[in-house]
Amino acid sequence: MKETITSHEDVLEMLDSLLREPTGFWNEFYSNREKGIPFFVNKPDENLVSYFEKDIINAGNVLELGCGPGRNAIYFAEKGCTVDAIDLSEESIQWATERARESEVTVNFIQDNIFDVHLEEETYDIVYDSGCFHHIAPHRRMNYIELIQKALKPGGYFAITCFVQDGDLGGSDISDWEVYRLRSLDGGLGFTEEKLRTLFNGFEEIEMRRMKVAKKDEEVFGVSALWAALFRKK
């Protein structure tokens, strides 16, 4: 009976098994902290910093999806936010915890699948995703959007950075159907402005642009191969 499909959830789990990188993959990815991965730097996203500088968002309850080594979660905490930060990888959570301790801030890091974590409804002022969404398979997108809608307070903000289609860091241009023909996300899916607007049309768009390129001596992270978009829950 283990592989018998009797519900919609069984279908999702079957598709997950075909496409999702296992936890071991992400633990290996984060195990070598010295390899030249651009976002391993301990700097917040330039767009996130700009939202605070422009007083678009302010201190509040934050949920970060796919927090990696914790650079944005730590910045939120430094700005006075209460932060829950989730990542699948035990290695990344360990690294993020060490960084938070060094920065003398408190972040509630959670090692789990974002779709398995129990979240109280309308708890968060901000949901932030820097680099998680382009690793979400198409069959999980509705769950992802439902998670955000459920987590956010009315009028709360959802901010995302994700691969530009055919960008310098990746951003595969394969169709959603092709994902299943290939049984692969091809390293991470790329998006156009039009596709992002279509997927998140249930939110009010505040800003959508390319990330600004940040120089090595700047205290923010920024590369042009990522979209930076900010939405508000209606």
Pairing type for strands 152-163 and 124-130 reads parallel
Per domain, the residue ranges of the chain are 8-233
How much of the chain, in percent, has pLDDT values that exceed 90?
86
The confidence band for 171, taking pLDDT boundaries of 50, 70 and 90, is: very high
For residue 26, what pLDDT is reported?
86
Q: 8-233 maps to which CATH number?
A: 3.40.50.150
pTM above 0.85, yes or no: yes
Q: How far apart are the C-alpha atoms of 107 and 41, rounded to whole Å?
A: 18
Task: Average the pLDDT over 131-154 and give the result.
Answer: 97
- For 6-46, the pLDDT digits (tens) are 999 999 999 988 887 767 788 888 888 888 888 889 999 99
For residue 76, what pLDDT is reported?
98
For residue 130, what pLDDT is reported?
98
The confidence band for 1, taking pLDDT boundaries of 50, 70 and 90, is: low
CB 167 within 8 A of CB 139: no
Task: Average the pLDDT over 166-193 and give the result.
Answer: 95
pLDDT over 80 (residue 218): yes
Task: Average the pLDDT over 141-170 and give the result.
Answer: 97
- For 48-84, the pLDDT digits (tens) are 999 999 999 999 999 999 999 999 999 999 999 999 9
